[in-house]
Amino acid sequence: MARRQDGGPRAAMTASAVALMRERGVAATSFADVLAHSGAPRGSIYHHFPGGKSQLIEEATRSAAHQLTDRIQRILDSGDTVTAIRSIVDLWRRVLEATDYVAGCPIVAAALGTEASARDIAGVSFTRWTEMIGARLVGDGVDPARAATLATMLVSALEGGLILAQAQRSAAPLDAVVGELELLCRAAGAVTPTE
């Protein structure tokens, strides 16, 4: 009934735009690239995206933000924060290995890109993730007054570690970050799995 998502060219194009943004950034992602990558018919660009590239990038960013937010929420729902951190890092690691360390976080690409609206969406996304993680930390026993700053630290360190991993073509920075974050969470009073 209310299914108006269309799985056709439009969805394929936003998905491809996300993939290309992750690998080369917003500015270096062209329509021609998106068409080639998605296999979408050439004539449907401005039919589906009358706002041109701005609109495509904006919708791609929104799509990536929703997807990642959902994924993070599911991870947070299925365990404590420390376990969630490990899951997220495993996710990044798989992406890096599958793309020869070229693909990063699409939201970071949007944040550092040339499209103002996409940058704003990135900002909201980061805020959202921070709030979600903060709530999870409180549930784990962390002092609510502390949870917000700790959550910001988690997001920042994971995104930064991912960038170092891309630049060094190695997952080692992510491993270092996850270890330090675990220590920090435990010291802050978050429950930990006894494994």
Does the protein bind DNA through residue 53 (CB under 7 A)? yes
Nearest approach, Cβ of residue 107 and a second copy (Å) = 8
105, 52 Cβ separation under 8 angstroms: no
21 binds DNA per the rule CB under 7 A? no
From residue 94, alpha-carbon distances to 72, 100, 102, 164 in Å are 16, 10, 12, 15
Question: Which range binds a second copy by CB under 8 A, 46-54, 66-74, 79-87, 117-125?
Answer: 117-125
Phi-psi group of 6: left, alpha or beta (phi > 0 → left; psi -120 to 50 → alpha; rest → beta):
left
Measured CA to CA, the distance from residue 49 to residue 113 in angstroms comes to 19
Q: What is the number of alpha carbons within 13 Å of residue 43 lying toward its C-beta?
A: 0
- Choice from 47, 66, 74, 169 touching DNA (CB under 7 A): 47
Q: How many positions of this chain bind a second copy (CB under 8 A)?
A: 48
Cβ-contact 155, 130 below 8 angstroms = yes
Provide the CA 78 distance to its chain's centre, in angstroms: 19
* Tokens at 55, concatenated: 């609109």
Q: Is 72 in the site for a second copy (CB under 8 A)?
A: no
Q: Binding segment for a second copy among 5-13, 21-29, 66-74, 137-145 (CB under 8 A)?
A: 21-29
Instruction: Compare residues 3 and 42 and give the one whose CB is closer to DNA.
Output: 42
The pair of structure tokens assigned to 33 is 């690239």
When CB distances are held under 5 to 8 angstroms depending on the partner's kind, the choice from DNA, a second copy, none that residue 96 binds is none
Distance of CA 174 to the CA centre of its chain: 15
Give me the residue label for tokens 């992510």. 174
Rule CB under 7 A: say whether 45 interacts with DNA. Answer: yes
Given 122, 133, 137, 138, the residue binding a second copy (CB under 8 A): 122
Question: Quick count: other Cβ atoms within 10 Å of Cβ 162?
Answer: 24
Stretch that binds a second copy, among 33-41, 42-50, 76-84, 160-168 (CB under 8 A): 160-168
Residues of this chain that bind DNA (CB under 7 A): 8-9, 29-33, 41-48, 50, 52-54
Interface contacts to a second copy, rule CB under 8 A:
24-28, 104, 108-109, 111-114, 119-120, 122-123, 125-127, 148-150, 152-153, 155-161, 163-164, 166-169, 172-173, 175-177, 179-181, 183-184, 187
